[in-house]
A and B are shown apart, each in its own frame.
Chain A
Protein backbone atom coordinates (compact mmCIF):
# COMPACT_ATOMS: atom_id res chain seq x y z
CA UNK A 1 0.00 0.00 0.00
CA UNK A 2 1.06 3.53 -0.58
CA UNK A 3 -0.30 6.99 0.02
CA UNK A 4 -0.34 10.21 -2.01
CA UNK A 5 -1.70 13.53 -0.90
CA UNK A 6 -3.85 15.06 -3.64
CA UNK A 7 -4.79 18.74 -3.59
CA UNK A 8 -8.35 19.26 -4.76
CA UNK A 9 -10.34 22.47 -4.39
CA UNK A 10 -8.13 23.72 -1.57
CA UNK A 11 -8.50 20.46 0.31
CA UNK A 12 -5.95 17.74 0.81
CA UNK A 13 -7.15 14.19 0.24
CA UNK A 14 -4.90 11.30 1.16
CA UNK A 15 -5.40 8.68 -1.52
CA UNK A 16 -4.22 5.16 -0.77
CA UNK A 17 -3.17 2.97 -3.66
CA UNK A 18 -1.16 -0.11 -4.43
CA UNK A 19 0.84 -1.08 -7.50
CA UNK A 20 1.59 -4.63 -8.62
CA UNK A 21 4.00 -5.61 -11.42
CA UNK A 22 5.59 -2.13 -11.39
CA UNK A 23 7.66 -2.75 -14.50
CA UNK A 24 4.84 -3.86 -16.83
CA UNK A 25 4.13 -1.50 -19.72
CA UNK A 26 0.32 -1.62 -19.92
CA UNK A 27 -1.69 -0.05 -17.10
CA UNK A 28 -4.71 -1.71 -15.51
CA UNK A 29 -6.50 0.57 -13.07
CA UNK A 30 -9.03 -1.07 -10.76
CA UNK A 31 -11.79 0.87 -8.96
CA UNK A 32 -13.98 -0.64 -6.26
CA UNK A 33 -17.66 -0.11 -5.56
CA UNK A 34 -19.47 1.95 -2.89
CA UNK A 35 -18.56 0.84 0.63
CA UNK A 36 -15.82 -1.46 -0.60
CA UNK A 37 -12.05 -0.98 -0.95
CA UNK A 38 -9.05 -1.82 -3.09
CA UNK A 39 -8.31 -4.81 -0.85
CA UNK A 40 -11.33 -6.67 -2.18
CA UNK A 41 -10.43 -5.92 -5.79
CA UNK A 42 -6.81 -6.93 -5.27
CA UNK A 43 -7.98 -10.12 -3.62
CA UNK A 44 -9.86 -10.92 -6.83
CA UNK A 45 -7.37 -9.86 -9.51
CA UNK A 46 -3.99 -9.55 -7.75
CA UNK A 47 -2.66 -12.86 -8.97
CA UNK A 48 -4.00 -12.59 -12.54
CA UNK A 49 -2.97 -10.59 -15.61
CA UNK A 50 0.75 -10.46 -14.82
CA UNK A 51 1.62 -8.59 -17.99
CA UNK A 52 -0.23 -5.45 -16.82
CA UNK A 53 0.82 -2.93 -14.22
CA UNK A 54 -2.07 -3.15 -11.72
CA UNK A 55 -3.05 0.03 -9.91
CA UNK A 56 -5.58 -0.49 -7.11
CA UNK A 57 -7.05 2.71 -5.71
CA UNK A 58 -9.12 3.41 -2.60
CA UNK A 59 -11.67 5.98 -3.77
CA UNK A 60 -11.95 9.09 -1.52
CA UNK A 61 -13.58 8.21 1.81
CA UNK A 62 -13.09 4.45 1.43
CA UNK A 63 -10.41 2.04 2.63
CA UNK A 64 -7.42 4.12 3.69
CA UNK A 65 -8.29 7.17 1.61
CA UNK A 66 -9.68 10.25 3.31
CA UNK A 67 -12.50 12.56 2.28
CA UNK A 68 -13.54 15.68 4.15
CA UNK A 69 -15.68 17.36 1.47
CA UNK A 70 -18.84 16.24 -0.32
CA UNK A 71 -18.02 15.03 -3.84
CA UNK A 72 -19.85 14.28 -7.06
CA UNK A 73 -18.92 11.42 -9.37
CA UNK A 74 -17.13 13.97 -11.57
CA UNK A 75 -15.10 15.21 -8.58
CA UNK A 76 -14.07 11.64 -7.75
CA UNK A 77 -13.11 11.13 -11.39
CA UNK A 78 -10.94 14.26 -11.33
CA UNK A 79 -9.23 13.11 -8.12
CA UNK A 80 -8.45 9.73 -9.68
CA UNK A 81 -7.11 11.59 -12.73
CA UNK A 82 -4.85 13.73 -10.54
CA UNK A 83 -3.49 10.58 -8.89
CA UNK A 84 -2.97 9.01 -12.33
CA UNK A 85 -0.91 12.02 -13.41
CA UNK A 86 1.29 11.62 -10.32
CA UNK A 87 1.72 7.92 -11.06
CA UNK A 88 2.32 8.48 -14.74
CA UNK A 89 -0.56 6.10 -15.40
CA UNK A 90 -2.08 5.59 -18.85
CA UNK A 91 -5.76 4.99 -19.61
CA UNK A 92 -5.12 1.59 -21.17
CA UNK A 93 -7.57 -0.52 -19.20
CA UNK A 94 -9.81 0.66 -16.38
CA UNK A 95 -11.95 -1.75 -14.40
CA UNK A 96 -14.82 -0.46 -12.28
CA UNK A 97 -17.15 -2.37 -10.02
CA UNK A 98 -20.61 -0.93 -9.30
CA UNK A 99 -20.12 2.76 -8.37
CA UNK A 100 -16.50 2.49 -9.56
CA UNK A 101 -17.93 1.65 -12.98
CA UNK A 102 -19.33 5.16 -13.34
CA UNK A 103 -15.94 6.67 -12.46
CA UNK A 104 -14.22 4.28 -14.87
CA UNK A 105 -16.61 5.34 -17.67
CA UNK A 106 -15.90 9.04 -17.10
CA UNK A 107 -12.15 8.35 -17.21
CA UNK A 108 -12.70 7.31 -20.83
CA UNK A 109 -10.12 4.54 -21.14
CA UNK A 110 -9.12 2.60 -24.24
CA UNK A 111 -10.64 -0.53 -22.72
CA UNK A 112 -13.43 -0.08 -20.19
CA UNK A 113 -14.36 -3.04 -18.01
CA UNK A 114 -17.61 -2.68 -16.08
CA UNK A 115 -18.35 -5.23 -13.39
CA UNK A 116 -22.01 -4.92 -12.37
CA UNK A 117 -21.78 -1.20 -12.92
CA UNK A 118 -24.12 1.36 -11.44
CA UNK A 119 -25.49 4.10 -13.66
CA UNK A 120 -28.79 2.75 -14.98
CA UNK A 121 -31.71 3.92 -12.87
CA UNK A 122 -34.17 1.13 -12.24
CA UNK A 123 -37.67 1.85 -10.98
CA UNK A 124 -37.82 1.53 -7.22
CA UNK A 125 -39.68 -1.54 -5.99
CA UNK A 126 -42.98 -0.93 -4.25
CA UNK A 127 -41.49 -1.84 -0.85
CA UNK A 128 -38.92 0.98 -1.08
CA UNK A 129 -41.49 3.45 -2.41
CA UNK A 130 -43.73 2.64 0.53
CA UNK A 131 -40.82 3.10 2.96
CA UNK A 132 -40.01 6.51 1.50
CA UNK A 133 -43.64 7.58 1.63
CA UNK A 134 -43.97 6.39 5.22
CA UNK A 135 -40.85 8.26 6.34
CA UNK A 136 -41.92 11.46 4.58
CA UNK A 137 -45.24 11.17 6.36
CA UNK A 138 -43.53 10.61 9.72
CA UNK A 139 -41.21 13.52 9.09
CA UNK A 140 -44.22 15.70 8.34
CA UNK A 141 -45.69 14.59 11.66
CA UNK A 142 -42.45 15.45 13.48
CA UNK A 143 -40.90 12.02 13.83
CA UNK A 144 -37.67 12.75 11.92
CA UNK A 145 -35.71 11.08 14.72
CA UNK A 146 -36.80 7.70 13.36
CA UNK A 147 -34.58 8.30 10.33
CA UNK A 148 -32.07 5.59 11.28
CA UNK A 149 -34.77 2.96 10.76
CA UNK A 150 -35.23 4.05 7.18
CA UNK A 151 -31.80 5.00 5.91
CA UNK A 152 -30.24 2.74 3.27
CA UNK A 153 -27.71 0.14 4.41
CA UNK A 154 -25.08 1.86 2.23
CA UNK A 155 -25.62 5.22 3.92
CA UNK A 156 -25.57 4.10 7.54
CA UNK A 157 -22.58 5.16 9.64
CA UNK A 158 -21.33 7.57 6.97
CA UNK A 159 -19.60 10.78 7.93
CA UNK A 160 -21.40 13.98 6.95
CA UNK A 161 -19.36 14.69 3.77
CA UNK A 162 -19.67 11.05 2.73
CA UNK A 163 -23.45 11.12 3.29
CA UNK A 164 -23.64 14.17 1.04
CA UNK A 165 -21.48 12.35 -1.49
CA UNK A 166 -23.80 9.36 -1.26
CA UNK A 167 -26.80 11.54 -2.03
CA UNK A 168 -24.89 13.06 -4.96
CA UNK A 169 -24.01 9.78 -6.58
CA UNK A 170 -26.88 7.43 -5.79
CA UNK A 171 -29.44 6.96 -8.57
CA UNK A 172 -27.48 9.01 -11.09
CA UNK A 173 -28.55 8.27 -14.65
CA UNK A 174 -25.44 7.63 -16.73
CA UNK A 175 -27.25 6.65 -19.94
CA UNK A 176 -25.75 9.64 -21.80
CA UNK A 177 -22.24 8.92 -20.53
CA UNK A 178 -22.53 5.28 -21.54
CA UNK A 179 -23.82 6.29 -24.99
CA UNK A 180 -20.99 8.72 -25.61
CA UNK A 181 -18.25 6.30 -24.55
CA UNK A 182 -16.35 5.43 -27.71
CA UNK A 183 -13.69 2.97 -26.56
CA UNK A 184 -13.96 -0.78 -26.30
CA UNK A 185 -16.09 -2.06 -23.43
CA UNK A 186 -16.32 -5.39 -21.68
CA UNK A 187 -19.38 -5.74 -19.44
CA UNK A 188 -19.45 -8.53 -16.89
CA UNK A 189 -22.50 -9.24 -14.78
CA UNK A 190 -23.76 -11.63 -12.15
CA UNK A 191 -27.05 -13.10 -13.32
CA UNK A 192 -28.71 -12.88 -9.90
CA UNK A 193 -27.40 -9.42 -9.02
CA UNK A 194 -30.00 -7.58 -6.96
CA UNK A 195 -28.10 -4.29 -6.47
CA UNK A 196 -27.51 -3.56 -10.16
CA UNK A 197 -29.72 -6.05 -12.02
CA UNK A 198 -28.66 -7.85 -15.19
CA UNK A 199 -31.13 -5.69 -17.12
CA UNK A 200 -28.77 -2.73 -16.44
CA UNK A 201 -25.97 -4.63 -18.13
CA UNK A 202 -28.17 -5.37 -21.12
CA UNK A 203 -29.17 -1.71 -21.32
CA UNK A 204 -25.52 -0.56 -21.24
CA UNK A 205 -24.64 -3.08 -23.96
CA UNK A 206 -27.34 -1.50 -26.12
CA UNK A 207 -26.09 2.03 -25.42
CA UNK A 208 -22.39 1.41 -26.01
CA UNK A 209 -21.19 1.16 -29.58
CA UNK A 210 -18.39 -1.37 -29.08
CA UNK A 211 -19.35 -3.51 -26.11
CA UNK A 212 -19.75 -7.13 -25.17
CA UNK A 213 -21.75 -8.48 -22.23
CA UNK A 214 -20.62 -11.62 -20.42
CA UNK A 215 -22.98 -13.09 -17.85
CA UNK A 216 -21.71 -15.12 -14.89
CA UNK A 217 -23.36 -17.16 -12.19
CA UNK A 218 -23.48 -15.15 -9.00
CA UNK A 219 -24.61 -11.88 -7.45
CA UNK A 220 -23.25 -8.33 -7.24
CA UNK A 221 -19.81 -9.74 -6.27
CA UNK A 222 -19.73 -12.53 -8.88
CA UNK A 223 -16.17 -11.62 -9.92
CA UNK A 224 -14.74 -12.93 -6.65
CA UNK A 225 -15.60 -16.46 -7.84
CA UNK A 226 -14.87 -15.86 -11.52
CA UNK A 227 -11.75 -13.66 -11.34
CA UNK A 228 -9.66 -15.90 -13.60
CA UNK A 229 -12.24 -15.99 -16.34
CA UNK A 230 -12.95 -12.26 -16.10
CA UNK A 231 -9.18 -11.67 -16.32
CA UNK A 232 -8.95 -13.83 -19.43
CA UNK A 233 -11.75 -11.82 -21.04
CA UNK A 234 -10.01 -8.55 -20.14
CA UNK A 235 -6.76 -9.73 -21.73
CA UNK A 236 -8.56 -10.84 -24.88
CA UNK A 237 -10.45 -7.56 -25.14
CA UNK A 238 -7.22 -5.62 -24.77
CA UNK A 239 -5.45 -7.74 -27.40
CA UNK A 240 -8.21 -6.88 -29.87
CA UNK A 241 -7.37 -3.19 -29.56
CA UNK A 242 -3.86 -3.98 -30.81
CA UNK A 243 -5.11 -5.69 -33.98
CA UNK A 244 -5.65 -2.51 -35.97
Chain B
Protein backbone atom coordinates (compact mmCIF):
# COMPACT_ATOMS: atom_id res chain seq x y z
CA UNK B 1 0.00 0.00 0.00
CA UNK B 2 1.18 3.50 -0.86
CA UNK B 3 1.18 5.80 2.16
CA UNK B 4 2.79 9.17 2.83
CA UNK B 5 3.74 10.03 6.40
CA UNK B 6 3.51 13.77 7.03
CA UNK B 7 5.35 14.86 10.18
CA UNK B 8 7.16 17.73 11.93
CA UNK B 9 5.24 21.00 12.09
CA UNK B 10 5.62 24.27 13.98
CA UNK B 11 4.62 22.78 17.29
CA UNK B 12 5.98 22.19 20.78
CA UNK B 13 5.59 18.51 19.86
CA UNK B 14 7.68 18.79 16.69
CA UNK B 15 10.33 16.38 17.98
CA UNK B 16 7.78 13.86 19.21
CA UNK B 17 6.33 13.85 15.71
CA UNK B 18 9.75 12.93 14.31
CA UNK B 19 9.99 10.05 16.78
CA UNK B 20 6.46 8.95 15.82
CA UNK B 21 7.37 8.90 12.13
CA UNK B 22 10.54 6.92 12.73
CA UNK B 23 8.60 4.39 14.82
CA UNK B 24 5.88 4.03 12.18
CA UNK B 25 8.45 3.50 9.46
CA UNK B 26 9.33 0.30 11.25
CA UNK B 27 5.76 -0.63 12.24
CA UNK B 28 4.49 -0.22 8.67
CA UNK B 29 7.40 -1.98 6.96
CA UNK B 30 6.20 -3.61 3.79
CA UNK B 31 4.08 -0.60 2.87
CA UNK B 32 5.28 1.64 0.06
CA UNK B 33 6.09 4.55 2.39
CA UNK B 34 7.06 8.10 1.57
CA UNK B 35 8.08 10.72 4.12
CA UNK B 36 7.21 14.40 4.00
CA UNK B 37 8.70 16.62 6.68
CA UNK B 38 7.16 20.00 7.51
CA UNK B 39 9.86 22.10 9.15
CA UNK B 40 9.17 24.80 11.71
CA UNK B 41 9.10 27.46 8.98
CA UNK B 42 6.34 25.55 7.13
CA UNK B 43 8.51 24.32 4.26
CA UNK B 44 7.80 20.76 3.10
CA UNK B 45 10.67 18.39 2.29
CA UNK B 46 10.65 14.95 0.72
CA UNK B 47 12.82 12.84 2.99
CA UNK B 48 14.90 10.00 1.62
CA UNK B 49 13.60 6.87 3.50
CA UNK B 50 17.12 5.76 4.44
CA UNK B 51 17.61 9.16 6.12
CA UNK B 52 14.66 8.74 8.48
CA UNK B 53 16.76 9.28 11.59
CA UNK B 54 16.37 11.88 14.33
CA UNK B 55 19.77 13.35 13.49
CA UNK B 56 18.77 14.18 9.92
CA UNK B 57 16.46 16.83 11.33
CA UNK B 58 18.44 18.06 14.33
CA UNK B 59 21.48 18.62 12.11
CA UNK B 60 19.48 20.41 9.42
CA UNK B 61 20.50 17.84 6.82
CA UNK B 62 16.87 17.69 5.59
CA UNK B 63 17.34 21.15 4.07
CA UNK B 64 19.40 19.59 1.31
CA UNK B 65 16.52 17.33 0.29
CA UNK B 66 13.93 18.25 -2.36
CA UNK B 67 11.35 20.85 -1.36
CA UNK B 68 7.70 20.17 -2.07
CA UNK B 69 4.76 22.42 -2.80
CA UNK B 70 1.04 21.74 -2.45
CA UNK B 71 -1.00 21.51 -5.62
CA UNK B 72 -4.47 20.12 -6.35
CA UNK B 73 -4.57 16.43 -5.31
CA UNK B 74 -0.96 16.11 -4.19
CA UNK B 75 2.41 17.42 -3.10
CA UNK B 76 4.69 18.27 -6.00
CA UNK B 77 8.42 18.12 -6.46
CA UNK B 78 9.76 20.56 -8.99
CA UNK B 79 11.96 18.89 -11.56
CA UNK B 80 14.09 20.26 -14.37
CA UNK B 81 11.32 19.55 -16.84
CA UNK B 82 7.87 19.89 -15.29
CA UNK B 83 7.04 18.51 -11.86
CA UNK B 84 6.58 15.16 -10.20
CA UNK B 85 3.55 14.54 -8.01
CA UNK B 86 3.83 12.55 -4.77
CA UNK B 87 0.89 10.17 -4.90
CA UNK B 88 -0.78 8.15 -2.17
CA UNK B 89 -2.92 8.77 0.88
CA UNK B 90 -1.34 11.00 3.52
CA UNK B 91 -1.15 9.97 7.18
CA UNK B 92 -1.14 13.18 9.21
CA UNK B 93 1.39 12.51 11.96
CA UNK B 94 1.98 16.10 13.09
CA UNK B 95 1.20 16.28 16.80
CA UNK B 96 0.06 19.45 18.54
CA UNK B 97 -0.20 22.76 16.68
CA UNK B 98 -0.52 22.53 12.86
CA UNK B 99 -1.40 18.83 12.88
CA UNK B 100 -4.11 18.66 15.52
CA UNK B 101 -5.45 22.22 15.45
CA UNK B 102 -7.05 21.91 12.02
CA UNK B 103 -4.38 23.72 9.99
CA UNK B 104 -3.11 20.65 8.14
CA UNK B 105 -6.63 19.26 7.80
CA UNK B 106 -7.71 22.49 6.13
CA UNK B 107 -4.73 22.47 3.77
CA UNK B 108 -5.24 18.88 2.71
CA UNK B 109 -8.99 19.36 2.28
CA UNK B 110 -8.44 22.49 0.26
CA UNK B 111 -6.05 20.67 -2.07
CA UNK B 112 -8.28 17.53 -2.27
CA UNK B 113 -5.59 15.27 -0.84
CA UNK B 114 -6.84 12.07 0.80
CA UNK B 115 -5.64 11.73 4.35
CA UNK B 116 -5.92 9.80 7.57
CA UNK B 117 -6.36 12.23 10.41
CA UNK B 118 -8.94 14.44 12.11
CA UNK B 119 -10.94 16.80 9.88
CA UNK B 120 -11.23 20.52 10.74
CA UNK B 121 -14.24 20.29 13.05
CA UNK B 122 -12.87 17.25 14.90
CA UNK B 123 -9.57 19.09 15.38
CA UNK B 124 -11.28 22.12 16.86
CA UNK B 125 -13.10 20.06 19.48
CA UNK B 126 -10.13 17.94 20.51
CA UNK B 127 -7.27 20.44 20.33
CA UNK B 128 -8.59 22.88 22.90
CA UNK B 129 -9.43 21.18 26.19
CA UNK B 130 -12.13 23.77 26.85
CA UNK B 131 -13.98 22.83 23.66
CA UNK B 132 -13.60 19.13 24.50
CA UNK B 133 -15.52 19.91 27.71
CA UNK B 134 -18.23 21.67 25.68
CA UNK B 135 -18.44 18.70 23.31
CA UNK B 136 -18.75 16.16 26.12
CA UNK B 137 -21.44 18.27 27.78
CA UNK B 138 -23.41 18.29 24.54
CA UNK B 139 -23.19 14.56 23.80
CA UNK B 140 -23.56 13.30 27.36
CA UNK B 141 -20.04 12.09 28.15
CA UNK B 142 -18.87 12.79 31.70
CA UNK B 143 -15.70 14.80 32.38
CA UNK B 144 -14.12 16.11 35.58
CA UNK B 145 -15.09 19.49 37.00
CA UNK B 146 -12.88 22.26 35.72
CA UNK B 147 -12.10 25.94 35.75
CA UNK B 148 -10.46 28.09 33.09
CA UNK B 149 -7.76 30.62 33.98
CA UNK B 150 -6.16 33.19 31.70
CA UNK B 151 -2.74 34.77 32.08
CA UNK B 152 -4.28 38.22 31.73
CA UNK B 153 -6.64 37.98 34.69
CA UNK B 154 -6.55 36.93 38.31
CA UNK B 155 -9.30 34.76 39.67
CA UNK B 156 -9.83 32.82 42.87
CA UNK B 157 -10.23 29.11 42.34
CA UNK B 158 -13.31 27.35 43.64
CA UNK B 159 -11.89 23.81 43.27
CA UNK B 160 -10.04 22.38 46.23
CA UNK B 161 -6.49 21.02 46.27
CA UNK B 162 -4.76 18.95 44.98
CA UNK B 163 -5.23 20.28 41.47
CA UNK B 164 -3.82 19.54 38.05
CA UNK B 165 -2.97 22.46 35.77
CA UNK B 166 -2.87 22.00 32.00
CA UNK B 167 -2.32 24.41 29.11
CA UNK B 168 -5.64 24.50 27.23
CA UNK B 169 -4.13 23.49 23.92
CA UNK B 170 -1.30 21.00 24.31
CA UNK B 171 -0.87 17.29 24.52
CA UNK B 172 1.91 15.05 25.74
CA UNK B 173 1.87 16.41 29.32
CA UNK B 174 3.97 19.42 28.31
CA UNK B 175 3.43 22.27 30.78
CA UNK B 176 1.25 20.13 33.05
CA UNK B 177 1.79 20.22 36.82
CA UNK B 178 0.16 18.90 39.95
CA UNK B 179 -0.42 21.46 42.67
CA UNK B 180 -0.78 20.15 46.21
CA UNK B 181 -1.20 23.45 47.99
CA UNK B 182 -1.79 27.10 47.24
CA UNK B 183 1.87 28.08 47.61
CA UNK B 184 2.70 26.00 44.54
CA UNK B 185 -0.05 27.43 42.37
CA UNK B 186 1.65 30.57 41.05
CA UNK B 187 4.64 28.73 39.61
CA UNK B 188 2.51 25.95 38.13
CA UNK B 189 0.39 28.56 36.35
CA UNK B 190 3.49 30.33 34.99
CA UNK B 191 4.72 26.96 33.71
CA UNK B 192 1.47 26.42 31.82
CA UNK B 193 1.35 30.02 30.58
CA UNK B 194 4.67 29.52 28.83
CA UNK B 195 2.72 27.29 26.43
CA UNK B 196 -0.74 28.79 26.36
CA UNK B 197 -2.45 31.94 27.59
CA UNK B 198 -5.39 29.82 28.78
CA UNK B 199 -5.18 26.94 31.20
CA UNK B 200 -7.58 24.31 32.48
CA UNK B 201 -7.62 23.50 36.18
CA UNK B 202 -9.08 20.18 37.31
CA UNK B 203 -9.09 18.26 40.59
CA UNK B 204 -6.18 15.85 40.78
CA UNK B 205 -7.29 12.42 41.95
CA UNK B 206 -4.33 10.45 43.20
CA UNK B 207 -4.35 6.83 42.08
CA UNK B 208 -7.37 7.27 39.82
CA UNK B 209 -7.91 4.37 37.41
CA UNK B 210 -6.90 5.42 33.92
CA UNK B 211 -7.66 3.52 30.74
CA UNK B 212 -6.71 4.25 27.14
CA UNK B 213 -8.66 3.04 24.18
CA UNK B 214 -7.94 3.67 20.51
CA UNK B 215 -10.11 3.08 17.50
CA UNK B 216 -11.55 4.25 14.23
CA UNK B 217 -14.57 3.81 11.99
CA UNK B 218 -14.09 1.42 9.08
CA UNK B 219 -16.93 0.83 6.66
CA UNK B 220 -19.47 2.25 9.08
CA UNK B 221 -18.33 0.04 11.96
CA UNK B 222 -16.19 0.93 14.96
CA UNK B 223 -12.92 -0.95 15.21
CA UNK B 224 -11.39 -0.85 18.70
CA UNK B 225 -7.95 -1.54 20.08
CA UNK B 226 -7.40 -3.36 23.33
CA UNK B 227 -7.94 -1.35 26.52
CA UNK B 228 -4.67 -0.30 28.10
CA UNK B 229 -4.04 0.71 31.68
CA UNK B 230 -1.08 3.05 31.31
CA UNK B 231 1.77 2.78 33.79
CA UNK B 232 2.11 5.87 35.91
CA UNK B 233 4.01 7.08 38.90
CA UNK B 234 2.16 10.20 39.86
CA UNK B 235 1.09 11.12 36.39
CA UNK B 236 2.58 10.60 32.99
CA UNK B 237 5.14 13.32 32.58
CA UNK B 238 6.56 14.49 29.31
CA UNK B 239 9.58 12.23 29.39
CA UNK B 240 7.56 9.18 30.31
CA UNK B 241 5.06 9.81 27.54
CA UNK B 242 7.88 10.57 25.17
CA UNK B 243 9.36 7.17 25.91
CA UNK B 244 5.89 5.86 25.33
CA UNK B 245 5.98 6.90 21.70
CA UNK B 246 9.01 4.84 20.92
CA UNK B 247 7.49 1.84 22.61
CA UNK B 248 7.38 -1.05 20.23
CA UNK B 249 6.21 -4.14 22.09
CA UNK B 250 2.51 -4.64 22.53
CA UNK B 251 1.10 -3.73 25.90
CA UNK B 252 -0.79 -6.02 28.20
CA UNK B 253 -4.53 -5.85 28.10
CA UNK B 254 -5.99 -4.27 31.21
CA UNK B 255 -7.88 -6.61 33.55
CA UNK B 256 -11.39 -5.23 33.28
CA UNK B 257 -14.93 -6.46 33.61
CA UNK B 258 -16.74 -6.92 30.33
CA UNK B 259 -19.32 -4.42 31.49
CA UNK B 260 -16.68 -1.72 31.98
CA UNK B 261 -15.10 -2.41 28.59
CA UNK B 262 -18.55 -2.00 27.05
CA UNK B 263 -19.00 1.31 28.83
CA UNK B 264 -15.62 2.58 27.63
CA UNK B 265 -16.42 1.59 24.07
CA UNK B 266 -19.86 3.18 24.23
CA UNK B 267 -18.35 6.47 25.41
CA UNK B 268 -15.66 6.28 22.73
CA UNK B 269 -18.28 5.76 20.04
CA UNK B 270 -20.35 8.71 21.26
CA UNK B 271 -17.30 10.95 20.91
CA UNK B 272 -16.15 9.52 17.59
CA UNK B 273 -19.34 9.20 15.58
CA UNK B 274 -20.19 12.03 13.26
CA UNK B 275 -17.01 13.95 14.03
CA UNK B 276 -13.80 11.90 13.87
CA UNK B 277 -14.43 9.80 10.74
CA UNK B 278 -11.18 9.43 8.81
CA UNK B 279 -9.03 9.53 11.95
CA UNK B 280 -7.58 6.90 14.22
CA UNK B 281 -7.86 8.43 17.67
CA UNK B 282 -7.05 7.46 21.23
CA UNK B 283 -9.32 8.46 24.10
CA UNK B 284 -7.94 8.52 27.62
CA UNK B 285 -10.56 7.81 30.26
CA UNK B 286 -10.78 7.88 34.05
CA UNK B 287 -12.95 5.40 35.89
CA UNK B 288 -14.28 6.62 39.24
CA UNK B 289 -16.86 4.54 41.15
CA UNK B 290 -17.51 2.48 38.06
CA UNK B 291 -18.36 5.62 36.09
CA UNK B 292 -16.45 6.54 32.94
CA UNK B 293 -15.04 10.07 32.53
CA UNK B 294 -13.24 11.35 29.44
CA UNK B 295 -9.83 12.81 30.25
CA UNK B 296 -8.66 13.72 26.78
CA UNK B 297 -8.93 12.95 23.09
CA UNK B 298 -5.73 12.38 21.10
CA UNK B 299 -6.82 12.76 17.48
CA UNK B 300 -3.26 11.91 16.34
CA UNK B 301 -1.92 9.66 19.10
CA UNK B 302 1.84 9.13 19.44
CA UNK B 303 2.98 6.58 16.85
CA UNK B 304 -0.75 6.17 16.10
CA UNK B 305 -1.10 3.99 19.23
CA UNK B 306 0.15 1.10 17.09
CA UNK B 307 1.04 -0.91 20.21
CA UNK B 308 -2.66 -1.15 21.14
CA UNK B 309 -3.64 -2.98 17.94
CA UNK B 310 -3.03 -6.61 17.15
CA UNK B 311 -3.13 -5.99 13.41
CA UNK B 312 -2.05 -2.36 13.16
CA UNK B 313 -1.10 -2.59 9.48
CA UNK B 314 -4.46 -4.08 8.61
CA UNK B 315 -6.33 -1.33 10.47
CA UNK B 316 -4.40 1.42 8.66
CA UNK B 317 -4.93 -0.24 5.29
CA UNK B 318 -8.68 -0.61 5.82
CA UNK B 319 -9.02 2.88 7.25
CA UNK B 320 -7.25 4.32 4.20
CA UNK B 321 -9.84 2.60 2.01
CA UNK B 322 -12.70 3.95 4.08
CA UNK B 323 -11.99 7.67 4.26
CA UNK B 324 -14.88 10.14 4.22
CA UNK B 325 -15.56 11.68 0.84
CA UNK B 326 -15.49 15.42 0.94
CA UNK B 327 -18.10 16.86 -1.33
CA UNK B 328 -17.26 19.93 -3.25
CA UNK B 329 -20.17 21.85 -4.74
CA UNK B 330 -20.02 22.18 -8.51
CA UNK B 331 -20.58 25.70 -9.62
CA UNK B 332 -22.69 25.78 -12.77
CA UNK B 333 -23.53 29.48 -12.88
CA UNK B 334 -27.23 28.57 -13.31
CA UNK B 335 -28.37 31.59 -11.37
CA UNK B 336 -26.35 34.05 -13.39
CA UNK B 337 -27.43 32.33 -16.61
CA UNK B 338 -31.10 32.54 -15.64
CA UNK B 339 -30.85 36.24 -14.90
CA UNK B 340 -29.05 36.82 -18.15
CA UNK B 341 -31.79 34.91 -19.96
CA UNK B 342 -34.54 36.87 -18.23
CA UNK B 343 -32.88 40.08 -19.30
CA UNK B 344 -32.73 38.69 -22.79
CA UNK B 345 -28.98 38.99 -23.10
Give A contacts to B, CB under 8 Å.
1-5, 16-17, 19, 22, 64
Contacts and interface: CB of A to CB of B under 8 A. Distances in A.
A19 B184 CA distance: 11
Given A16-B194, A64-B194, A2 B151 contact: no
A5 B187 contact: no
Contacts of B194: 1-3, 16, 64
Interface in B184-211: 184, 187, 190-191, 193-194
A17 B184 CA distance: 15
B193 A2 contact: yes
Interface of B: 151, 184, 187, 190-191, 193-194
A3 B193 contact: yes
A4 B184 contact: no
A22 B184 contact: yes
A74 to B, nearest CB: 25
B184 A1 contact: no
A5 to B, nearest CB: 7
B146 to A, nearest CB: 21
A2 B184 contact: no
A46 to B, nearest CB: 15
A1 B151 contact: no
Nearest to B193: A3
Contacts of A3: 151, 190-191, 193-194
A238 to B, nearest CB: 23
Given A16-B194, A64-B194, A5 B184 contact: no
Contacts of A64: 194
B89 to A, nearest CB: 37
6 contacts: A1-B191, A2-B187, A2-B194, A3-B151, A3-B193, A22-B187
The winner among A2, A4, A19 for most chain B CB atoms within 10 A is A2
Interface centre among B151, B184, B187 (most CB of A within 10 A): B187
Q: Which among B184, B187, B190 has the greatest number of chain A C-beta atoms within 10 A?
A: B190
A2 B184 CA distance: 13
Contacts of B191: 1-3
A148 B187 CA distance: 42
Contacts of A5: 151
Contacts of B151: 3, 5
Most buried by B among A1, A3, A16, A22: A3
User: Which 4 pairs between the two chains have the least Cβ-Cβ distance?
Assistant: A2-B190, A3-B194, A2-B191, A3-B193
A22 B190 CA distance: 14
Contacts of A19: 187
B339 to A, nearest CB: 54
Chain A CB count within 10 A is highest, among B151, B191, B194, for B194
Contacts of A16: 194
A69 to B, nearest CB: 20
Contacts of B187: 2, 19, 22
B151 to A, nearest CB: 7
Contacts of A2: 187, 190-191, 193-194
Nearest to A18: B191
A16 B191 CA distance: 9
Nearest to B191: A2
A137 to B, nearest CB: 37
A5 B150 CA distance: 12
A64 B190 CA distance: 13
A57 to B, nearest CB: 12
A118 B6 CA distance: 47
A5 B194 CA distance: 10
A92 B317 CA distance: 62
A4 B184 CA distance: 15
A2 B175 CA distance: 8
A127 B184 CA distance: 53
A38 to B, nearest CB: 12
Contacts of A4: 190, 193
B105 to A, nearest CB: 29
A4 B191 CA distance: 9
A16 B193 CA distance: 10
A76 B80 CA distance: 53
A22 B181 CA distance: 13
A1 B238 CA distance: 13
Contacts of B193: 2-4
Given A2-B191, A2-B194, 11 more contacts: A1-B191, A2-B190, A3-B151, A3-B190, A3-B191, A3-B194, A5-B151, A16-B194, A17-B190, A19-B187, A22-B184
